[in-house]
Structure 1
Amino acid sequence: MQPPVFRFAPSPNGRLHLGHAYSALLNERLAREAGGRLLLRIEDIDRERCTPENIRAAIDDLAWLGISFETPVLHQSRRMAAYREAIVTLMEMNLLYVCTCTRKDLAAFADSHPDAPRDPEGQPLYPGTCRRVAHMFSADSALRLRMSEAIARTGPLTWNEKGESISAHPERWGDVIIARKGIGTSYHLSVVIDDAFQDVTDVVRGDDLREQTAIHRVLQTLLGLPAPRYHHHDLIRHDTGRKLAKSKGDESLADLRAAGATAQEIRTLLGFG
């Protein structure tokens, strides 16, 4: 019997903070308790924001915390061929369509339709504007999933959340983007492809990604990929109650190190002393 496989998969578009540290340390603890393997995956499909400097800094922060991962480290930016192959499969199933809508277009729709249905994150569902137009695909366009048709193919779905069967409701997300313009893939597509490629059995990540699991279950089923077990943990939050975010300028692990904090103090602070 193969040992369970855990992975920590940051998107290094800035310096790691305490929230990242908590998730990495929880993966480490659960992998150790299960006698499993622990992988590091760098989710750097956004090459503009995930700079080489940020990637090196993230790996350095994790080493400073004393977390040991198997090598080699997988970088998603080197896996574009695998994502393109999955996109071709979905296109052959007639489940994708080209979307040329801009952020300005979507913002205008949201402003003019305040009562439009919204996804679990509170954003208006995509109104399907490009579903009715046969656009040619280019680097300046995105690809969206025909969610209703996808669900018709998969039927009802569930996922394993800490041993409990959870009903998935992907319809709440509408026609999600599968390939972002200028990038050629998306978080949703890349994460399911790489979890399968790396034989990941246990996905341990923040509760802010819990609802998105429904999208991942659709893609896993359509592409014939295995479904890992999921463990969505509570988030480390700012004093105001919001989740920590690099974009908000929250104190990074590098800041804490510069102020004299030790790795053991961070581990103790987060409950891993």
Structure 2
Amino acid sequence: MNSQAYIGRFAPSPSGHLHLGSLVTALGSYLQAKAQQGKWRLRIDDIDPPRIMPGAIEHIQSALWVHGLKWDDEIVYQSDHSAEYESALQSLLANNKIYRCECTRAQIKAAGGRYAGTCRDKTSVSAPFSLRFKHTNPVSNLNDGYLGHITIDPSATNEDFIVKRKDGLYAYHLASVVDDIAMGVTEIVRGEDLLLPTACQWSLFHAFEAQPPKTMHLPLVAFKDGRKYSKQNNAPALDLTQPKQNLQHALGYLGIEITPQAAQMEVVPLLNWAITQWQQKSLPVSQPPLG
């Protein structure tokens, strides 16, 4: 193990209840942390109040708890960190790495869908405006713990992305990077649908002169028609009365075959057994679709 103590994290947004896809991601990050005798921390990414579902934060905690996924240390809430995000913005501003942008979504869509740096060199813009990161050294190549060396479309990774929205809310990329640095996260385990956000966030790590964590992007759980198993696609919430069955299902998606002996285990023994079985190379190339 690296001489630096391992710190992993699971960082759900409380826009809905946890579903099987969420459980697979949480379980994968938990197993990776515990297999290395590291910490597994929980962060609630609650920086977007309009998207928060009432009761979702409590459900997330309950769902993890009944599945034996007990986090280390106190829960981190992004809603508590506005001062830290503002300080980070001031640091970027002092280094000429952000600028004001008055462009609307409709204007960007009409221009092809990707922001072309329209406001980067403007001396003044009209309110309301967002703050964008001046992307001078985009990251297009990543070395992933599961996927290996991957290249992401440079035309997507070099876009000047938003770090503070027009409505005054801090953007996902900024909040995630600032918190990962503060938490000392050494590896991020999450779904492969977040490869592009990872590339963008790595540019922010470099802008803050911080070493990015290692990554492992897990295969996604999908419906039969290929759609991602997600809250946006109405994936059903986990049945919290069936934690053992849910864990067995999730372990199968992570390439861990349930033995007859393991099938009889309750939640905690099953998790302890799964830690001993966890190997990155056992992960499937792709996930079988759900019905």
TM-score range, shorter chain: 0.7 to 0.9
In structure 2, do the counterparts of structure 1 residues 244 and 137 end up closer, same or farther at CA, with 3 Å as the change threshold? farther
Match for residue 242 of structure 2 among 248, 253, 262: 262
Sequence identity (%):
31
Superposed CA offset, 1:216-255 (max 9, x none): 11111111112111000000111111111212222111xx
1:125 maps to which residue?
114
* 1:270 partner letter: A
Structure 1 residue matching 2:55: 3-state secondary structure: helix
In structure 2, do the counterparts of structure 1 residues 184 and 135 end up closer, same or farther at CA, with 3 Å as the change threshold? farther
User: Matches of 2:177 and 2:29 in 1, distance apart?
Assistant: 18
User: Matches of 1:29 and 1:132 in 2, distance apart?
Assistant: 47
User: Matches of 1:211 and 1:49 in 2, distance apart?
Assistant: 22
User: Matches of 1:243 and 1:169 in 2, distance apart?
Assistant: 21
- Higher mean C-alpha displacement, 177-186 vs 30-39: 177-186
- Higher mean C-alpha displacement, 243-252 vs 29-38: 243-252
* 2:144 partner letter: E
1:87 maps to which residue?
89
In structure 2, do the counterparts of structure 1 residues 137 and 145 end up closer, same or farther at CA, with 3 Å as the change threshold? farther
User: Matches of 2:67 and 2:121 in 1, distance apart?
Assistant: 51
Q: Unaligned regions of 5+ residues in structure 1, if any?
A: 111-123
The CA deviation at 1:136 is 5.3
User: Matches of 2:185 and 2:223 in 1, distance apart?
Assistant: 31
Superposed CA offset, 1:67-117 (max 9, x none): 11013100011111111111111111222121222223233334xxxxxxx
2:261 maps to which residue?
none
User: Matches of 1:83 and 1:241 in 2, distance apart?
Assistant: 37
In structure 2, do the counterparts of structure 1 residues 108 and 165 end up closer, same or farther at CA, with 3 Å as the change threshold? closer
Length-normalised TM-score, structure 1: 0.83
1:145 maps to which residue?
133
User: Matches of 2:193 and 2:133 in 1, distance apart?
Assistant: 22
* 1:218 partner letter: S
**What root-mean-square deviation, in Å, do the aligned CA atoms of Structure 1 and Structure 2 show?**
2.3
* 1:239 partner letter: K
User: Matches of 2:71 and 2:126 in 1, distance apart?
Assistant: 39
* 2:134 partner letter: R
Aligned 1:21-170 pairs, distance under 5 A: 21-51=23-53, 53-110=55-112, 124-135=113-124, 140-147=128-135, 150-151=136-137, 159-162=142-145, 164=148
* 1:250 partner letter: A
In structure 2, do the counterparts of structure 1 residues 249 and 169 end up closer, same or farther at CA, with 3 Å as the change threshold? closer
Length-normalised TM-score, structure 2: 0.78
User: Matches of 1:94 and 1:264 in 2, distance apart?
Assistant: 52
In structure 2, do the counterparts of structure 1 residues 167 and 238 end up closer, same or farther at CA, with 3 Å as the change threshold? closer
User: Matches of 1:169 and 1:249 in 2, distance apart?
Assistant: 29
Structure 1 residue matching 2:200: 3-state secondary structure: helix
Q: Residue 172 in 1 paired to residue 156 in 2?
A: yes
2:217 maps to which residue?
232
2:272 maps to which residue?
none
* 1:161 partner letter: D
Superposed CA offset, 1:139-161 (max 9, x none): x42111221xx31xx8x775441
The CA deviation at 1:207 is 0.1
Match for residue 245 of structure 1 among 230, 233, 237: 230
Q: Does the CA-based 8 Å contact 2:48-2:169 persist in structure 1?
A: no
Q: Does the CA-based 8 Å contact 2:92-2:98 persist in structure 1?
A: yes
Superposed CA offset, 1:10-47 (max 9, x none): 01111111111000011111111111110000011101
